[in-house]
Amino acid sequence: MQEAWTILDRQPDPVLVFDGQTHAVRFQNRAAARLAGQSAAAGVPLADLCGWLRMSAAKVATLLETMDAESAPKHLEVSHCDAHFDVTVQLPGLSGFPDQIVAAFHDITERRNAERQKQELVSTVSHELRSPLTAIKGAMGLVLAGSAGALPERARDMVQIAHRNANRLILIINDILDLDKIADGAMVFDNAHTPLVEVIDAAVEAVAGYRQRFDVKADLVIEARDAVAFIDPNRLVQVLVNLLSNAIKFSPAGAAVTVRLQDNGAFNRISVTDRGEGIPASEQRFLFDRFVQIGTRNRAATGGTGLGLSIVQAILDKQNGHITFTSQVGVGTTFHVDLPKPDAVPDSDIPKAG
């Protein structure tokens, strides 16, 4: 066992080891200590870690509350000054350290900087495109409504195709600009104590046409009918509509997606389960990256920007929420949205509008 600890200590990436029962920090390797600006020592209590590392450890501890013995390794991202780290969390048995939980920090700063530069370019182009595209869509809508007189059938079909594609481009641009707003802190959140059943009902109703198109039903399992969260209901509807849309389009015809509301201790949990092809383990860590589309079934037919889950994660981060998922190839995927109960959110953590 000592040899294993030595290997961890010599890893170039920062590593924290948590007690499997109490989730207290039991070990930080040399790389973590250098980053924290303190000497390495086994048994370092959470309170003695430097500020950013303590906050990172707290995020890992919160993630652990959403994991069980069957959970695959999970990933979360933390930042320190201008550095960004992808944290891989492994439970006992998977980590090779009995009764210990290992969190390894991988530096992804260069990747994030490249993504930021790409996003700045895409955002600039999107701003320039939205106004003329909206005008084009509006003009085609007027033509289809008969403002320019009756159209021959073939011409009408061609204008309808152009109109649909203009609308799709506008949706893509709006997704990009939503991410831009969140990153800049410009997205407004109108938070209120909101019954979650009402949000679920609104989201399921919003995708009714989508369900009909793909011949997929929605099963609601409400186990916590009185559940309330302090959130922006419209933004949570946006989150659930995205998850439901993905679940519907990747489920086979005639199947059902399940939406479940549960009391999960300090959190209320909304889960969306599909009966689709599942997500290969090798692709799961990229699921929330921008412009990433996972899976191959009907990709051309179902479309998508590869931005939806990035927006979901960004909105939930701003609402003190958390999203995780489990997936099995050939069986399906379940996304879990955990929202703190109102009495579990400190006043200082409640997002303000703007």
pLDDT at residue 353 tops 70: no
To the nearest whole number, what is the mean pLDDT of the chain?
A: 81
Task: State residue 51's pLDDT score.
Answer: 57
Neighbours of 272 (CB within 10 A): 26
With 0.95 as the threshold, say if the pTM is over it. no
pLDDT in tens, 263-313: 988 899 999 999 999 998 888 888 888 777 665 444 444 556 677 898 999
pLDDT in tens, 166-202: 887 887 788 878 877 887 777 888 999 999 999 999 9
| % of the chain at pLDDT higher than 90 | 37
Task: State residue 294's pLDDT score.
Answer: 64
pLDDT in tens, 106-118: 888 898 888 778 7
pLDDT at residue 42 tops 60: no
Q: Which fold does the domain 192-349 belong to in CATH? A: Heat Shock Protein 90 (3.30.565)
Asked which of 42-51, 67-76, 265-274 is least confident by mean pLDDT, the reply is 42-51
Please tell me the distance from the alpha carbon of residue 132 to that of residue 152, in angstroms, as a whole number. Answer: 26
The token pair at 32 is 């973590």
pLDDT at residue 94 tops 70: no
CATH of 2-107, one of 3.20.20.70, 3.20.20.120, 3.30.450.20, 3.40.710.10: 3.30.450.20
Cβ-proximal residues to 62 (8 Å cutoff; 6+ apart), any chain: 322
Buried/exposed 102-128: b ≥16 CB within 10 Å, e otherwise: bbbbebeeeebeeeeeebeebbeebee
Band (pLDDT 50/70/90 cuts) for residue 348 is: very low
Rounded to an integer, the average pLDDT of 54-75 is: 68
Greatest Cα pair distance in the chain: 83
Please tell me the distance from the alpha carbon of residue 194 to that of residue 199, in angstroms, as a whole number. Answer: 8
Rounded to an integer, the average pLDDT of 153-168 is: 89
Residue with more model confidence, 23 or 216: 216
pLDDT in tens, 198-235: 999 999 999 998 899 999 999 999 999 999 999 999 99
Task: State residue 306's pLDDT score.
Answer: 73
Alpha-carbon torsion (63, 66, 71, 76), positive or negative: negative
pLDDT at residue 351 tops 80: no
pLDDT in tens, 29-38: 888 877 766 6
Band (pLDDT 50/70/90 cuts) for residue 138 is: very high
